[in-house]
Structure 1
């Protein structure tokens, strides 16, 4: 791709996303013939057509499908590099694009973001909330600088991870509902209606896998929600849900019953900074991750420093949310 220009990649991505040459040209502020010429030049450089234009419908060819994620990542990396150079030159302070799981967004992350903003008010913050699988994908594509994800990850994932937190998992149910026994095991979920997250949440996959390993197929009352929706569905009595304990803070209409007896649901691994005796009940490990092939920006490194400083203080002062342990 030595002869490929960044401008051509940007034009290609615009057409690929809009699927219309004239509308893509308008969004880019250029004439449509100029856009078409640059796309043809790019196709000639790569030796393959990128779009199928049959009957006026614009679709990606197999070559275009391969190029699209690569082009997006290249453009994202160039944009990051441009911001990094400007930051060093003193023109702007930078940005941090952070991904985090819903339990962290609903828990301690707000306090960390507030401290970071107080120390670095000129650095813009963007937070993407999502399941661990989604965050890993966006981080790998270059759409995020850092992400707080659940371990373990797939062995071939091109990320560097550092475990920082361990959180307990509980069964969330209405506060006025009394279970027959506490704690509960995965087998106790056999005849219960479950409220289930959408695809992309690691808790969805691990809960379903644990139920199947226990010899039954989970029964869903409703599925497809984000964290806030799932908790609200539980509040009104649609079913129960397996969630991290920290998300129940500030929700008096819910209570959490400890979940035990299914180690495969826990994501605890041996890659901790020091050996810690596992607390009772099921748990999972949260790590901060970045790409192996791109060093974190100055702004991202500054955010990581603030995060670790906050966690050290919270652990020392015992102010971490219930069920959360700092892996120092």
Structure 2
């Protein structure tokens, strides 16, 4: 495979492009627009687009089974395709109702306290199942914009003990159907997820390159509140604007890396890739601190060790 030297995309661009979910867009009817939470959707609009969480997870179906192929340009003017499998690293879903959440089929799934042995998994009732909730309790109640924590999951097992993202969601959604039925317009701006991407193989085989073992952690917002705020519209490609009705792309707002040992991911864009990586890492760190969240994978990727 020959590398297209005329391409303006760097390897980092290619990774972000190839691992960004693109989701089918839906429109709310006018009666539903009037019922939107104005704290989360303050702008008056004739049309409001949204996606369902079920459609979002479908984007990861093939990637979970076969890996997402990322073309990587090498210094020898050749490319190879590195495949990455996505794993659910963390997710928090905040909704406007503390007692119940409307599902897509008209049924309601009640909010009850629960805990899973495989990770931290609980629904908000003022405190965590593992820690006292005094700090978090003040945060949630002082800032009503966050809404109520409907669902939370943080993966803590080693990479070899995890199942791909789609398998994990299928398992969790049996107990929490809102993971499929909820819509982006139902979610608070504080709703987010992190996806861990681990390399599995590359084509053609046989090349030993340190950076091909790099792992990535991408952060994505889940709420429609940020839908029109595409950070790359005016930076990477000012001519490429999303049109109404186009599929919705959930570009990562934050990023962390692990085992980045060479210059494969920072060799393009005249040094801008390195600045971009540092900026995305800083934003992810700020996001976690604002929500007072301890994200195990982020700490591991960035070398933070908790006693």
Q: TM-score range by the shorter chain?
A: under 0.3
TM-score by length of 1: 0.24
For the pair shown, the structure with the greater C-alpha radius of gyration is: 1
